[in-house]
Structure 1
Amino acid sequence: MAQQERNGNVHDLKYREAKPSQGNPAAPVASLFRLDRRTIVVTGAAGFLGVAVTASILESSGDVVCLDVMEEPKPSEWRGIQLTANQHGRTASYYQCNVRSEQDITIVFQKIVSALKSPIRGLVACAGVSENGPATDFPVESFRRMMDINVVGTFMIAKAIANEAIRTNVSASLVFVASMSGYVSNKGVDTAGYNASKAAVHQLTRSLAAEWGSRKNIPLIRVNSLSPGYIRTAATAEALEKPGMESQWTGDNMLFRLSTVDEFRAPVLFLLGDGSSFMTGADLVVDGGHRAW
C-alpha cells in the first residue's frame, strides 16, 4: 500500500519533479543565516528559550510574532525585545495563545495576518512542558496535558503556519523544539511522559516533512526539529538542588557542563534560514555529546 501511495495510484498524489541542484553558490555566507522579509512565529515566546530565540531572529532581520499562554510577557524581557527590534528596524508583536486550543490559534492567526509586514515563513515551536514523577503514581491527566501541549499543540500551530504559507504561496521553514530525551531516558529523574512526548515530536517532524516537502501542489515547507540537552535556567534550578543531580547531569555529557539558552540561537537560525536549504525531516541534536557516549 505504501508503495502504491508513493506512485500516486491510491490517492493520486503529485510529487515534485526531480530537478538539478537548487543551491545558490553565489549567495554570501552571511545571507544564509538572515531572515529578511520574513515573519517568524515563536510559540512559548515568554519562556527562557523563546526570549533568546526571538531576539536572535530580530537581529537576523526577521519580524517576530510571539505567542504564549501568558496574558502578557514579562515587562523587563519585553523591553529588551522591543529595544532589539528597534535597533534592527524590525517588529515584534505579542499575542496570548493557548496552543492546546484550536479555536485560540484560529482567532490569533486572524489577528496576526491583518497586521503583517512580511509573510509568515517560519515557526519555532518552543511551547512545551515537563513534569516528572514515578510512573506508578504519575497522574494520567498530567500525562495527557504534556502530550496535548508538546505534541498536539505543536501539530496545530504547524498546521496553521502551513495553511498560511499555502495561502500566500511562499516557502517556509518550521523548527520544532524536541529534546535529547526523545531518544534516551534521563538518569536520576522519572520523566516517562515527557520523554514519550518528545519522541512523538521527532516522528511528527519526519512525517510533516515528508508530506509538505514532496507535494507538487503546495509551496516547499521544510520541517526540522532541534533536540537540546540539559539547559541551565531558573526552571531547572529546583531539579539541580537535588543532591548529586548537578554532577549527574554535567557528567552525562562530553563537555561536562550544562548548556545555556544563548547556545541555541545559532542552531535555530541555521534551521530557519537558507543555510539549511537541503535539510528537512531531520533532527539537530545539541546536547554536548550526551547521546554519543
Structure 2
Amino acid sequence: MSSSNVHGPEFRETKKYQGNPSAPVADLFRLDGRTIIVTGANGFIGTTVAASILESGGDVVCLDVVETPTSSDWENVEASAKKHSGVVSYHQCNVRDVQGVADVFAKFAPALRHPIRGLVACAGVSDNGPSIEYPIASFRRLFDINVKGTFTVAQAVAKEVLEANVTASMVFVASMSGYVSNKGVDTAGYNSSKAAVHQLARSLAAEWGSRVGMPLIRVNSLSPGYIRTTATAEALQKPGMESQWVGDNMLYRLSTVDEFRAPVLYLLGDGSSFMTGADLRVDGGHCAW
C-alpha cells in the first residue's frame, strides 16, 4: 500500500490535535472549558459519569426520558457541580424522537457557557425472553433506543461541534454482550443491539476522524461487564445466577458503577488523543477466557 491518502482527496492526513507532550499527566483527564452531553443521565452509569465530569472541570447537560431526575444519586450530581464550580442542567429528552432531540438541543445550546465537546451515550434498555416467541415490537424498541437513539444524539452533537469548530470525543456505552452471548438468560435482541453500537462507533469514527471540512471528532465505545445495581438485583435472585455471573469472569466478582468513572474520563479527555474507532472493554476478563 502506498503512503498516499488511501481515502481520496475528501479526507485529510493531518489532524487538529496531535498530542501535547508537555501537558501534565493530570491534565490529560481534565475537561475544563467543555460541555459534555450525557444521555440516560437518570440511570446508574449516567449519574455517576455526570458527577465525574463535573469533578474533572467540565459542564454537563443531562438528558433522559423522565421529566425530572428521580435517581437517588442525583443529589450527588448537584453537589459535584457546586463543589467544583460546574454547571449542570437536566432536560427531558426521548432519544427515539428525532425532532424532539433537535428541539431540546435548540433550547439549551445557545445558553451554554462552554462549547459542546463530548458525548456519553448511556441511554439504553435491556430486555429478555425466548426468541421463538419474542415480540418483534420489543425487538424494534431495543434497536430504536440503543442504536437509533445513540445515532440521533451523536448526530445532534456533531452538528454543534461543526458549528463551533472545536474538537470533540464521544463515548457510546455498549456492552460485553456485543461480543458474547449471556449464559442463563435469553437476550438475542439486546446482544444484537449492543453489537450494532460497536459498529456504529467504528463507522462514525471513520467518518468524523478524517473528513475534510469536519472538526476532529473521536468516537469510541465502552463495554461494561456485569454491574451490581438495584437493576440487576432481580436477575441475581434466580437460583445459581449470581455464582454463574461471578464465575464467568477472571476477577470472580461483579463490577460497581464507580469503576466506570476513570474509563469514561479517559475516553473523553486528551489522554486518549490517538484512540478512535475502538472499544474499551471493562468486563473483569469475562470475554478473555
TM-score normalized by the length of structure 1: 0.95
- Report if the CA contact (8 A) 2:168-2:216 is conserved: yes
**2:18 is matched with which residue: 16, 22, 26?**
22
Q: How far 1:291 sits from its partner (Å)?
A: 0.5
- Report if the CA contact (8 A) 2:178-2:195 is conserved: yes
Q: How does 1:107-146 map to 2 (within 5 A)?
A: 107-146=103-142
* Local SS of the residue matching 1:280: coil
Q: How far 1:234 sits from its partner (Å)?
A: 0.7
**2:160 is matched with which residue: 160, 164, 189?**
164
- Report if the CA contact (8 A) 2:218-2:276 is conserved: yes
**1:85 is matched with which residue: 81, 84, 89?**
81
For the residues of structure 2 that align with 1:76 and 1:7, how far apart are their CA atoms?
48
Rate the CA distance shift 1:244–1:109 in 2: closer, same or farther, 3 A.
same
Aligned to 1:177: 173
Aligned to 1:56: 52
**1:259 is matched with which residue: 239, 255, 271?**
255
Q: How far 1:112 sits from its partner (Å)?
A: 1.4
Q: Which amino acid aligns with 1:188?
A: G
Q: How far 1:80 sits from its partner (Å)?
A: 2.1
**1:153 is matched with which residue: 149, 156, 177?**
149
Aligned to 2:31: 35
**1:217 is matched with which residue: 209, 213, 217?**
213
* Local SS of the residue matching 1:214: coil
For the residues of structure 2 that align with 1:273 and 1:61, how far apart are their CA atoms?
11
**1:242 is matched with which residue: 232, 238, 250?**
238
Q: Which amino acid aligns with 1:43?
A: T
Q: Which amino acid aligns with 2:277?
A: G
Q: Tell me which moved more, 75-84 or 137-146.
A: 75-84
* Local SS of the residue matching 2:73: helix
Rate the CA distance shift 1:21–1:45 in 2: closer, same or farther, 3 A.
closer
- Report if the CA contact (8 A) 2:150-2:172 is conserved: yes
Aligned to 1:105: 101
Q: Any stretches of 5+ residues in structure 2 without a counterpart?
A: none
* Local SS of the residue matching 1:266: helix
Rate the CA distance shift 1:20–1:217 in 2: closer, same or farther, 3 A.
closer
Q: How far 1:77 sits from its partner (Å)?
A: 2.9
* Local SS of the residue matching 2:129: coil
Aligned Cα RMSD in Å? 1.5
For the residues of structure 2 that align with 1:64 and 1:44, how far apart are their CA atoms?
13
Q: How far 1:17 sits from its partner (Å)?
A: 2.5
Stretches (4+) displaced over 4 A: 18-21
Aligned to 1:229: 225
Q: Any stretches of 5+ residues in structure 1 without a counterpart?
A: none
Per-residue deviation, residues 15-38 of structure 1 (Å, max 9, x unmatched): 113479922110000000000000
TM-score normalized by the length of structure 2: 0.96
For the residues of structure 2 that align with 1:20 and 1:99, how far apart are their CA atoms?
30
- Report if the CA contact (8 A) 2:16-2:216 is conserved: no
Aligned to 1:270: 266
